[in-house]
Chains A and B, each alone.
Chain A
């Protein structure tokens, strides 16, 4: 449509010739084959590292397969002048995408929604009373979006908060599950997310066994929700252990 000499930014990304859409048919009884060859209940290998950005109070880098995220934490610093006095601290979250994060250039998902979801996932874990009158800024940049973006951002943000020395009740780990036909897939990639019938995201504090944020879309029966929640919670506690060991490693390396 846009290929002919039309409007001003007349560029397009060439698509694969021949096939127009690749939309697998998911039969009710057939199993989905994961594009990266994982089993249904297997998460992608996670790489976590703190201290990615030197000029921030705290920061972390997280890489889950192709999903790559950097989160910087600034503060606690003075709240905006327009803000009224508050005897508890404020949390400000912002999520942005790079232009090359998504397969098609410059089509990032709705970041306003992501920012408020990140805020809700984190606020329950932060001891806001410990920094009255001030604001902690949590900024996330998605370098590459490869699926399960929000859980990765949340996990990474929690590490960055710990790295910044902000007082937390517990670490926050987040995992999502996609429902495709009859299969439950943990830690879905982009392709799986675009075909999913439903999704369930849980953000929890593993050692306190408390859920700070939970969203469900699509149609679910109660037993299926039970199963998916258990799957997420188990993965969260495993992820929590990885996060802890990452922080321990960072603390044991002498800082120069």
Chain B
């Protein structure tokens, strides 16, 4: 919770109305994004994203599992977010629980697509090893280390970066004598498959303050919002998920307007993020080479 005086509140609102926010940004500009990959060596892939004062870590862990009976030719992905009490005193105890579930379900909605698997940012069929028998289960964990607004966008970016960093071991099926036998899986520890992240969407949250909406709101700005819409958009400019937050109602035409603004912003964000991820990966590889 941010306790703001009436003057401060008016200052924030007035600034947004005049397209000059308290930190000097325009309404639709992001804070500088800083991406670091491979921060957790034990995980299959990991990344840390800093967006101003917001700092999040995402890790991906791949484990062998059994596919669900309803989708025998696909792997499974679970997304879980934890809000650390380090980030904010209100997250202590069970305080962060509600926010954690809200963020997890919003991320699931934005990244995993429809029930049939269409439009998923993560290609679930690429996780299949033996149809109906073995697949990869991806456990994606998000951790909020420090919170200064716009957690969902930061987590979305961190998951995208962590997936780009993810290397799944090559799994080979050992030939068995009988077709009914449980196939044995050889997990290679030398050959790894890189994950294709070109279709992973980015999430853009537009926060409505007064009559205008802004991207990448800080906690102070979020405290003044009437409602917010998080839209996940992929490289093709298609919408992969949408969640509304905040109590106040919105006119449908405003929502459509917000979608088109988000689309415009997404192009810049995807390019920016991709170059940051590539740079971080290159940096990470260099470190590896230095180590060896």
A residues touching B (Cβ–Cβ < 8 Å)? Answer: 112-113, 116, 120, 123-125, 169, 179, 193-199, 204-205, 208-222, 225-226, 229, 233
Contacts and interface: CB of A to CB of B under 8 A. Distances in A.
A-B pairs, top 10 by smallest CB distance, nearest first, are A219-B119, A210-B249, A218-B114, A197-B118, A216-B242, A198-B114, A218-B119, A124-B247, A123-B247, A220-B239
Contact of A211 (B70, B238, B244, B259): B244
B126 interface: no
B259 A212 contact: no
Interface string B237-265: 11111111111111110011001100100
Contacts of B116: 195-197
18 contacts: A113-B105, A120-B245, A194-B70, A195-B115, A196-B116, A197-B113, A211-B249, A212-B249, A213-B244, A214-B243, A221-B238, A222-B239, A222-B259, A225-B239, A226-B256, A229-B252, A229-B255, A233-B252
A213 B241 CA distance: 13
B243 A196 contact: no
B191 interface: no
Contacts of B252: 204, 209, 211, 229, 233
B241 A216 contact: yes
A61 B206 CA distance: 36
Contact of A120 (B229, B244, B255, B260): B244
Contact of B240 (A123, A195, A219): A219
Contacts, number: 114
A116 B239 contact: no
Interface residues of B, number: 37
B234 interface: yes
Nearest to A1: B69
A236 to B, nearest CB: 10
A85 B247 CA distance: 20
A119 B53 CA distance: 30
A218 B249 contact: no
A204 B112 CA distance: 26
Interface of B: 70, 98, 101-102, 105, 109, 112-116, 118-119, 227, 229, 234, 237-252, 255-256, 259-260, 263
A86 to B, nearest CB: 13
Contacts of A204: 249, 252
Residue of B239, B241, B243 with most chain A CB atoms under a 10 A cut-off: B239
A198 B263 contact: no
- Chain B contact residues: helix, strand, loop or mixed: mixed
A222 B263 contact: yes
Contacts of A125: 249
Given A212-B249, A213-B244, A219 B102 contact: no
A199 B114 contact: yes
B243 A124 contact: no
Contacts of B114: 179, 196-199, 217-219
Given A179-B114, A197-B118, A217 B244 contact: no
B238 A219 contact: yes
Given A120-B245, A219-B239, A211 B250 contact: yes
A208 B249 contact: yes
A85 to B, nearest CB: 14
B184 to A, nearest CB: 20
B101 A124 contact: no
Contacts of B109: 215-217
A218 B229 CA distance: 16
A118 B173 CA distance: 46
A225 B239 CA distance: 9
A215 B243 contact: yes
Nearest to B114: A218
A163 to B, nearest CB: 22
A169 to B, nearest CB: 8
A194 B249 contact: no
Nearest to A117: B105
Nearest to B248: A124
Residue of A179, A195, A197, A221 with most chain B CB atoms under a 10 A cut-off: A197
A190 to B, nearest CB: 11
A229 B244 CA distance: 14
B233 to A, nearest CB: 10
Residue of A113, A169, A216, A229 with most chain B CB atoms under a 10 A cut-off: A216
Contacts of A209: 251-252
A25 to B, nearest CB: 11
Contacts of A216: 109, 239, 241-243
A214 B242 contact: yes
A243 to B, nearest CB: 17
A198 B244 contact: no
Nearest to A115: B101
Given A123-B247, A210-B251, A222-B260, A215 B242 contact: yes
